[in-house]
Every structure is written in C-alpha cells, then in structure tokens.
Chains A and B, each alone.
Chain A
Amino acid sequence: DAEITQSPRHKITETGRQVTLACHQTWNHNNMFWYRQDLGHGLRLIHYSYGVQDTNKGEVSDGYSVSRSNTEDLPLTLESAASSQTSVYFCASSEYPGNNEQFFGPGTRLTVL
C-alpha cells in the first residue's frame, strides 16, 4: 500500500544546530507540503512543492528550507534551530495542487533546547 513516512519521529536538538526532517511518499504525488502544528494555531504551511525542482514558501517559511530532487522526497531543513521552532511537523502529499485530499505523514515532534 502507498504511504507517507517521516523520520525521525522524535528529535531533540540544541539552539543553533542544523536539523533535517525527512519525508518520503510512495503515492507518486507531485504535490508535497510541510506544516507545523502548535497549540492554538492549528496547522500552518511552511513550504510546498508542486513537482521536482519546484519549491514555494508558505505562511511561516522563515528559518526553514526545502529541496525537491525527486518525486518521493521533500526534506525540511532548519538552518539554525531556534526554541520557537519547537513544534510537531507534518508532511503531506496530494495528487492535485488544490481541491484535493491531502495525505498526512505521522509527524515529527521536534524539541529545540
């Protein structure tokens, strides 16, 4: 069965370190998304991609970057982790860019000390 996976599931890091969160999907979807979820804010879009070599900034992109070298993967990098980036991060994919169901990964809980 097709799926979307994230790794690691839990990560503790220190302020200033670079961190990369992995997202891998086997749906063969062109569209992939990264969200962060914080209490009281729901899900906020960080970056998204509509295909290989395509990346776009979302609502809360500062301090984050993504790259899309193949269809299956969209890694999220925190260039210099800050305590404000402590959150739960979800990756999602969809078949079409809009008007379409998003499939979410299990999430990565990141703590920045």
Chain B
Amino acid sequence: GQQVMQIPQYQHVQEGEDFTTYCNSSTTLSNIQWYKQRPGGHPVFLIQLVKSGEVKKQKRLTFQFGEAKKNSSLHITATQTTDVGTYFCAVFLAPSGTYKYIFGTGTRLKVLA
C-alpha cells in the first residue's frame, strides 16, 4: 500500500543550528501538507505544497516539494526553543474513488538551549 516515510525519527540540535526533516513517498503525490505538534498539543497546519519543485518560506521555515512530487522537505534555519515539537508530513490520496489521508510518522525535534 501507499507508504509515506519520514526521516529522521528524532533530531536533537543546539539552539541556533539548522534542522531538516524529509518525507518520501513510493508514488507520485498530488500535494503534501506539513503540520507541527507541540508536546502535549494537537497538530497544527503549517503549509501545503502542490506544484512540482515548489518552494515556500515562512520566516525561518523553508518547505520544498520535489521535482518528481515524490518527496518533500522542511528546513528550519537557526532553530529556537520555540521550534520544539514533532513535524509531520501528510498526503491526501484518492485512488479509485476512495479518499485517504496518510500522515508520516513524524520527526521529533528537540532544541537544546
């Protein structure tokens, strides 16, 4: 079945270092979403990417959709303690008229002050 692999599973960084998480799919995607979940909280939507090669920025966060639309990345520049949490990618699929949302397993980011 459809797999969405997310790496790494965990990442510890010193405050000020950069961080990147990757999401890879076995099939071509129509779109990909990214969510952030703070410890003890609920997932919060960050962004959606739709176009091949798309790059979007939100302050220190840069989101990229691969040219083949099979992978995506989230890069945080100069991490801060407020970046702590788990970052999930999510894809929406509609094979044969059914609908599926599949979330990656997430990357848990810890920022050391």
Chain A residues in the interface with B (C-beta under 8 A): 33, 35, 40-45, 48, 50, 56, 58-59, 90, 92, 97-107
Q: Decide if B85 is an interface residue (CB 8 Å cutoff).
A: no
Chain B residues in the interface with A (C-beta under 8 A): 6, 30-31, 33, 41-45, 48, 50, 88, 90, 92, 94, 98-106
- Within the complex, which residue of A42, A97, A100, A103 is in contact with B103, where a contact is CB–CB below 8 Å? A42
Q: Which 5 A-B pairs have the closest CB atoms?
A: A98-B92, A43-B103, A104-B42, A101-B45, A42-B105
In the complex, residue of chain A having the shortest beta-carbon distance to the beta carbon of B92: A98
From known contacts A98-B94, A104-B44, infer whether A45 and B101 are also in contact, taking CB-CB under 8 Å: yes
A-B contact pairs, 16 of them (CB 8 A): A41-B105, A42-B106, A43-B88, A45-B102, A50-B99, A56-B99, A58-B100, A98-B31, A98-B94, A99-B48, A101-B33, A101-B45, A102-B43, A102-B90, A104-B42, A104-B44
In the complex the two chains form, what is the Cα distance from A90 to B94 in whole Å?
22
Min C-beta distance of A43 to chain B, whole Å? 4
Min C-beta distance of B21 to chain A, whole Å? 13
In the complex, residue of chain B having the shortest beta-carbon distance to the beta carbon of A88: B42
- Within the complex, which residue of A42, A59, A102, A105 is in contact with B100, where a contact is CB–CB below 8 Å? A59
